[in-house]
Structure 1
Amino acid sequence: MSGTVAIPEGLRPSSAMAARHAFVTLVTHADYALGARALLRSIRLTRTPADIVVLHTGGVDAAELEPLTEFDCRLIGTELLPLSDEFNARHARRNVHEQAPFTKGRKPDFHSPLDNFCKLRLWQLVEYDRCVFIDADALVLRNIDKLFLYPEFAAAPNVYESLADFHRLNSGVFVAEPSLATFDQMLVALDQPAAFWPRTDQTFLQSFFPDWHGLPVTMNMLQYVWFNLPALWDWRSIGILHYQYEKPWEKDHPRAEALRPLIELWHAYLTGENIPDIAGLENPAPVGAAGR
């Protein structure tokens, strides 16, 4: 493959592409650089031929990104989107958390809503035929290359509390087809006068792709399913485990005891030591809801 495609404005790649498809993640903070280490190791262990792309903002130092090079990834520096001052003010952390508070779980102190919109720069990666985006607070537990066969826009439902959530998507994992035309259309739709996206990129993507294609919940299994909907959990079928809300690297977070097996699994992938046979892990008990 050739890496001669012109570089879109706002991106600074460290190297050329090497495959037709790519797994893409976003690192906006030192904590997410740590999360990406576990994610990238988990992807590499699936022996995928796809590229791994790490979009990173100015909020991450080079020293924090350096450990990711072990996993033969493309580091692509990205600027924040060119949005209006009014838009940026409406989506500042304080405004988002006051107007649309997170009542189901706790977001880390470093959570910055504006950073989330950098996910949309995936559509600028036109050197690829198809991309699968995965949040840096996730693990890939088996080969998921079949996701590259899904059409744009495909995402799993935001199910972690009740089946009523099947009508909403979760943008921690999605399948997209890069296109500069689509990216330009997104910027126009995103920054409309008085536009407010309470769950940032997630709310916007559901609006922009109202007829989104559904991925199985197993391709974005949210960690709260472990104690809220244990009947949905089957280690043998989970492709991607997503640590939404509290992060597995946080010490003594409010859900730590309820999620102890998932946290220990994340640490195994972080270090590369004692990674278990996923199919042999014990599923959560079907009754009881410790940690609710």
Structure 2
Amino acid sequence: MSDQAFVTLATNDLYGKGALVLGTSLRNHKTTRKLVVLVSPQVSNNMRAVLEQIFDEVILVDVLDSKDSAHLAMIKRPELGVTFTKLHCWALTHYSKCVFMDADTLVLCNIDELFEREELSAAPDPGWPDCFNTGVFVYRPSTETYNELLQYSTEKGSFDGGDQGLLNSFFSNWATADINKHLPFIYNLSSVAIYSYLPAFKQYGADSKVVHFLGKVKPWDYSYDPTTRCVTRDSDDYSTIMHPGFLNLWWDIFTTSVLPLLTEHGISKETSSGAQEEDKFSEAVSQLSITPPDEVVSSDERKKKWEQGQADYMGVDSFQNIQKKLDAYLN
């Protein structure tokens, strides 16, 4: 299948680490397709050399930035403007069909069957299901589509300032035209959805094929102790949480397969993250036992926070506590 490929994007060395774990997970699950990574000039030469160990092609591309600070401010993610760079994937016309995957995704099994789908096939976004999430999608490279996307981005921009708003507007009939282009959610399972709809995760989670570490905090923002298999993070921000099993899996792959390659090319933990990191981590995320300082919250206040998407996932609304209540109810 030399004319089909999985494609990802790294805009800096941090996302380079994510791409390496993603590529390794695809290799581990015996994909028969080519692996391609697009890299921006911000990715260091050493990181590119490591990426060449995992990917069949490492392609340097120019950064495309929406520079839409107003819309990006609405989602509190100013860094997502550069995700327009993703549009370069349509220029890979030496491939007949591709599956794009964000560098913060992780493959849990072989997913080569996605190449049986047509453009534009994607899973619904957990925040607004009539939109597709652009972390995983099937597409056909095309010079015509590439030029149309560039023109569309210039003339109409994006409703969220990033690639997701742009692509949903461009492929505007996705929600209604062809249900066969709706990928099952297990191909793009978000860590946010796991906790917002725990019963469904309990029912279908074992069938997950791709996990997507959505949100501002990424797996590489944590630290990992390979001896205890404990993932930790030095932060008092409880607004973003990831399933510990998936986090541990990401770090297992990074520690065993990626870190030796980085070390071999002279990339230390500090330089690969782009900043000096202090090894002082106090919150043990792997056990989901982090509890912020006690705070008395009334039932009405707690209900209001839930409705606003501000559940206390690390405290009374933690995975363990919700599961206990579900088990008690079901029993």
**Is the Cα contact below 8 Å between 2:36 and 2:55 reproduced in 1?**
no
TM-superposed CA distance for 1:168, in Å, is 1.6
Report the counterpart of residue 271 of structure 1 in structure 2.
255
**Is the Cα contact below 8 Å between 2:92 and 2:141 reproduced in 1?**
yes
Please list the CA deviations of residues 156-204 of structure 1 after superposition, one character each: whole Å capped at 9, or x if unmatched.
00116xxxx32121100000000001111111111116x4431411011
Report the counterpart of residue 243 of structure 1 in structure 2.
213
**How many Å separate the matches in 2 of 1:263 and 1:174?**
23
**Is the Cα contact below 8 Å between 2:67 and 2:161 reproduced in 1?**
no
Report the counterpart of residue 67 of structure 2 in structure 1.
92
Which amino acid counterpart does residue 250 of structure 1 have in structure 2?
A: D
SS at match of 2:59: strand
**How many Å separate the matches in 2 of 1:76 and 1:203?**
25
- From 153, 168, 171, the counterpart of 1:209: 171
**How many Å separate the matches in 2 of 1:131 and 1:244?**
22
Which amino acid counterpart does residue 217 of structure 1 have in structure 2?
A: F
User: Quick check: 1:68 aligned with 2:56?
Assistant: no
Please list the CA deviations of residues 74-103 of structure 1 after superposition, one character each: whole Å capped at 9, or x if unmatched.
10000124xxxxxx5xx43744443x233x
Q: Whose RCO is larger (CA < 8 A, sep 6+)?
A: 1
**Is the Cα contact below 8 Å between 2:213 and 2:242 reproduced in 1?**
no
Q: TM-score, normalised by structure 1?
A: 0.75
**Is the Cα contact below 8 Å between 2:39 and 2:59 reproduced in 1?**
yes
Provide the aligned length of Structure 1 versus Structure 2. Answer: 242
TM-superposed CA distance for 1:70, in Å, is 2.4
- From 185, 188, 200, the counterpart of 1:220: 188
**Is the Cα contact below 8 Å between 2:186 and 2:205 reproduced in 1?**
no
Which amino acid counterpart does residue 37 of structure 2 have in structure 1?
A: V
Which amino acid counterpart does residue 177 of structure 1 have in structure 2?
A: R
Q: TM-score, normalised by structure 2?
A: 0.67
SS at match of 1:202: helix
TM-superposed CA distance for 1:223, in Å, is 0.9
Identity %: 29
**How many Å separate the matches in 1 of 2:116 and 2:183?**
11
Taking only aligned residues, the RMSD between alpha carbons, in angstroms, comes to 2.5
User: Quick check: 1:46 aligned with 2:13?
Assistant: no
TM-superposed CA distance for 1:63, in Å, is 0.9
Is the deviation greater in 148-157 or in 221-230?
221-230
SS at match of 2:145: helix
Report the counterpart of residue 118 of structure 1 in structure 2.
85
* Higher normalized helix content (fraction of residues): 2
Report the counterpart of residue 301 of structure 2 in structure 1.
none
**Is the Cα contact below 8 Å between 2:37 and 2:57 reproduced in 1?**
yes
From the superposition, tell whether residues 218 and 257 of structure 1 become closer, same or farther in structure 2 (CA, over 3 Å).
closer
TM-superposed CA distance for 1:116, in Å, is 0.4
TM-superposed CA distance for 1:128, in Å, is 0.7
TM-superposed CA distance for 1:285, in Å, is 5.9
- From 101, 122, 125, the counterpart of 2:75: 101
Report the counterpart of residue 142 of structure 2 in structure 1.
179
**How many Å separate the matches in 1 of 2:170 and 2:69?**
25
TM-superposed CA distance for 1:69, in Å, is 2.4
SS at match of 2:51: helix
**How many Å separate the matches in 2 of 1:241 and 1:115?**
22
User: Quick check: 1:150 aligned with 2:117?
Assistant: yes
Higher Rg: 2
**Is the Cα contact below 8 Å between 1:92 and 1:113 reproduced in 2?**
no
Q: Where does structure 1 differ by over 4 angstroms across 4 or more consecutive aligned residues? A: 255-258
Report the counterpart of residue 130 of structure 1 in structure 2.
97
Unaligned 5+ segments in structure 2 are: 175-180, 223-232, 258-318, 325-331
**How many Å separate the matches in 2 of 1:134 and 1:258?**
19
From the superposition, tell whether residues 168 and 44 of structure 1 become closer, same or farther in structure 2 (CA, over 3 Å).
same
**Is the Cα contact below 8 Å between 1:32 and 1:137 reproduced in 2?**
yes
**How many Å separate the matches in 1 of 2:182 and 2:321?**
26
